[in-house]
Amino acid sequence: MTKLHDLFDRHGQSPWLDNLRREWITSGELAHWVERGVRGVTSNPTIFQKAIAGADTYDDQFGQLIGDGMSVDDAYWTMVVTDIVDALRILRPVHDASDGVDGYVSLEVAPDLARDRHRTTTSARALHARIDQPNLFVKVPATAEGVDAVRTLVGEGHSINVTLIFGLDRYAEVMEAYIAGLESYDGDLSTVSGVASFFVSRVDTEVDQRLDAIGTDAALALRGTTAVAQAQAAYGMFLSTFTGPRWQALAERGARVQRPLWASTSTKNPAYSDTLYVDPLIGPDSVNTMPEATLEAFDDHGTLARTVDVDLDAARRTLDDVSTAGVDLDDVARVLEDQGVASFAKSFDELMSSLAVKAEDLR
């Protein structure tokens, strides 16, 4: 038993792995992570860009696909789907043993669809149809258009990982979209699952820059506190939303809560603890998806305790103090959303360009 097992068994939080590489699948590394207590996997366009462009692992399959006349775009999705299907197979026992609570693998729609509700909806449907497995999450960005798509997709019975959430107002919209979608679905609600991926460390990166620019003692004293406080406040919103008569009516039909998922949990500032975005965010019915270095750090010296809702009033006071110091958290959320969408799009475009060059060389 590892600390990762204890995280779930004792405190109800699921540790997931925020990375996926083909060599991990073929070598048994991913299966070993599952043995150590990992209960799910998340991927994104940047992860696949690094995996595919950074190694020759995919060259044989890519060469075969291009040789058969497939386009670069179709070849990319075929390679990605191959990895996702293999990862789903490895995580399926976790899914079955947990009665559908965990064992999920997440695959994101193309990042250039982030501002297009219709194409996002169509793409997510197509991915669920192409990979018809109960432990697949299709990731949809929490742009305004994406939130509309989530309501439609959940209403059709699809399991969705809503990603790139940076602010509390948008988080409230995401939860509402999930619940409204469930209310409109006339099928078996127990087959629908969802997580809301609240990005954490990037918030401190952006807010700390603004606090440094303000430069007062009060502002500087708040560095490194905003992200955790905002995530804790989000958990308080989760507890309030998934209770009461409206939710109870859905729960009686078998509905599952949309768990908050803490993403972007590697520590960007070396002055901060390497488990800063894990230790204070532990609580039941939540997920923390971590890159392998953060998983190793938590397993080695992380703190096992229910921490995320120990003092929600203190979390809200911290956010008030940050606002009083002069940081507009609504603007922070807007900036980070734009940056997140642009970053994933850039990774995707760079990968497609490198694959186009490689395809030309093969031809």
Q: Which residues are catalytic?
A: 139
Angle between helix 29-36 and 72-97 (nearest 10) = 30
**CA–CA distances in Å: residue 198 to residues 104, 251, 292, 297:** 17, 23, 19, 21
Give start and end residues of each alpha helix (H) in the chain. 3-11, 22-27, 29-36, 45-53, 59-67, 72-97, 117-130, 144-155, 168-184, 201-214, 217-220, 226-241, 244-251, 292-301, 312-325, 329-362
Contact 234, 203 (CB under 8 A): no
Question: What φ, ψ does residue 312 adopt, rounded to 5°?
Answer: -70, -30
Burial of residue 354 (number of CB atoms within 10 Å: 0-12, 13-18, 19+): middle
Q: Please, are residues 277 and 225 in contact by the beta-carbon 8 Å criterion? A: no
Residue 225 tokens, joined: 């506190």
Q: What is the dihedral of CA 273, 274, 279, 283, to 10 degrees?
A: 140
**Cβ proximity of 303 and 31 under 8 Å:** no
Closest CA to 156 of 130, 131, 191, 132: 191
Burial of 35 (0-12, 13-18, 19+ CB in 10 A): exposed
Contact 33/293 with Cβ under 8 angstroms?
Answer: no
DSSP secondary structure string for all residues of 93-118:
HHHHHTTTSS-EEEEEPPGGGTT-HH
CA-based max dimension of the chain: 64
